[in-house]
Amino acid sequence: MPATPLLPPDHPDRAALAAEVHARPPEPLAAPSRASYAAVRIEADARDAEMAHIGALCAHYGVAPPPSGGTQWAATLGRLRFKWERHGEFSSYTLFTAGLSPTPFAEPVAALLPAGWLAGVPGQTVFAAHAKLVGAAALVGRDGGNPSAEQLAAHFGANVVVGAGIGDGAGLAFTDFVIHGDGFARFVLLDRSMTERQAGRMLQRLFEIEAYRMMAMLALPVARGLWPRLLPIERTLAGLTERIAQDATRRAGADEALLHELMALAAEIESALAASQSRFGASRAYHALVSTRIAELREQRIQGLQTIDEFMTRRLNPAMATCVTVSQRLHDLSERIAQASSLLRTRVDIARQQQNQALLAATARRAKLQLRLQQTVEGLSVAAIVYYSAGLVGYVAKAAKAAGAPLSPDLVTGLAVPVLGLGAWWVLSRVHRRIAADDDHGGSDH
């Protein structure tokens, strides 16, 4: 008999979410070794082509390709260890191999791949770097453990080197944050007491710091492109707002023209927001990841060198501040235009209401005139009715006299005129009362 389950059924995403904390584990590294890294921005419609490209590499080495739908994969390909990771907007390719070249960075690990394979990845390179991990005895300077300026110059040339102790002093990391002639940046790690997994984590963090930094910086050209457009828009908005405030009694047509100008300005701002906010939002997220990865290095200062944190603070933060400023100015402009449009639209609505009230008043005046005219016509109608009715009575009286009746047709006609007038007036009054009663009943029905 099956054992009685101890838990309710699993949530559909339980296993995947539990495995997420173990995602993208670092590759353990032992000194001496070297690595190459490339971060390639790949569009969504090129993902299948990327997987086919990786599948061709696996077929070349006779290994199983990554599983369908996977976001990370690692395998040993001949002399090197290959690691692929898919991020939100880019994919990273990390290659490791043991041993060092006689001349620093003269034999990159990427050169061990089949010729042209890395260059054929369907996308655009955002960041690429070579790194070497050396033991503590390999680079010993005159200061008792830190590499000398000459030793660093052998790896980075005349460039300004940035470096610090990492892992609370368990290792040292150096770079110049420069793209060298081969298209790669360079990192040097000195292993003092790091474990293999710690060394792998530190190298992965260094690579990710630069990859995320470059992805964050993609928003800077967008911000610089928008910056020249903001000042004319702000001036135009200021002019429109001043025109709104100058004359509160302007014609409705002029206000509607101003409203159309504001709507055109709003459309321009909303277009800029739609084109930039996703990039600015991603930039903020990448910037936060850079800060997190730097904090995870647990740097210790080396006398005479900037730490990686200091370097990023002085160079990355101003660029990110520019992006934040442009984004905020766009949102502020959008809100200001919305407020001005609301104010002007309210004034246009009030003007229209006043026009409607004037139109209703004119309609009421015309209705009164029509009523008076109708009353006048009704009075004339009574006179006409009495006149023609009196004529008929006269004809009847004359006929009766001719028949021998002792009547005076003129007297009978004269006496009939008041009676006929009162009768016509009573009939019209009764009609008016019936119409009024019908109106009252109709209003009560609603």
Burial 4-19 (b: 16+ CB within 10 A, else e): eeeeeeeeeeeeeeee
Query: What backbone phi and psi angles, to 5 degrees, belong to 34?
Result: -140, 160
Q: How far apart are CA 231 and CA 108, in angstroms?
A: 48
Q: How far apart are CA 105 and CA 95, in angstroms?
A: 14
Q: Which residues are paired to 186 by β-bridges? A: 130
Task: Tell me which residue of 168, 78, 148 sits closest to 304, measured CA to CA.
Answer: 148
The predicted pLDDT at position 64 comes to 92
Cβ 124 vs Cβ 40: under 8 Å = yes
The predicted pLDDT at position 142 comes to 44
Whether cis (ω within 30° of 0) applies to the bond prior to 32 is yes
Query: What backbone phi and psi angles, to 5 degrees, belong to 124?
Result: -125, 135
Kind of pairing between the strands at 124-135 and 185-191: parallel
> Secondary structure of the chain: what % helix, strand, coil (to 5)?
60, 15, 25
What is the residue-wise DSSP string for 328-385? HHHHHHHHHHHHHHHHHHHHHHHHHHHHHHHHHHHHHHHHHHHHHHHHHHHHHHHHHH
From residue 60, give the alpha-carbon distance in Å to each of 38, 46, 129, 242. Answer: 20, 21, 25, 71
Hunting for tokens 């838990």 — which residue is that?
7
Q: First and final CA of the chain: distance in angstroms?
A: 75
| Token duo for residue 443 | 């209003």
Q: How far apart are CA 190 and CA 45, in angstroms?
A: 41
Q: Which strands sit side by side in the sheet containing 171-175, from one edge to the other?
A: 72-77, 80-86, 90-98, 33-41, 124-135, 185-191, 171-175, 162-166, 300-301
The predicted pLDDT at position 52 comes to 94
The predicted pLDDT at position 351 comes to 66
Hunting for tokens 């939100």 — which residue is that?
88
The predicted pLDDT at position 109 comes to 94
What is the pTM (predicted TM-score) of this model? 0.75
Q: How far apart are CA 368 and CA 165, in angstroms?
A: 96
Q: Break the chain into its structural domains and give their ranges.
A: 25-215, 219-358, 374-435
DSSP code at position 63: -
The predicted pLDDT at position 86 comes to 92
Over the stretch 96-137, which tens digit does the pLDDT of each residue have? 999 988 888 989 999 999 999 999 999 999 999 999 999 877
Stretches where the chain sits below pLDDT 70 are 1-3, 138-145, 247-253, 255, 344-351, 354, 371, 375, 377-380, 436, 438-446
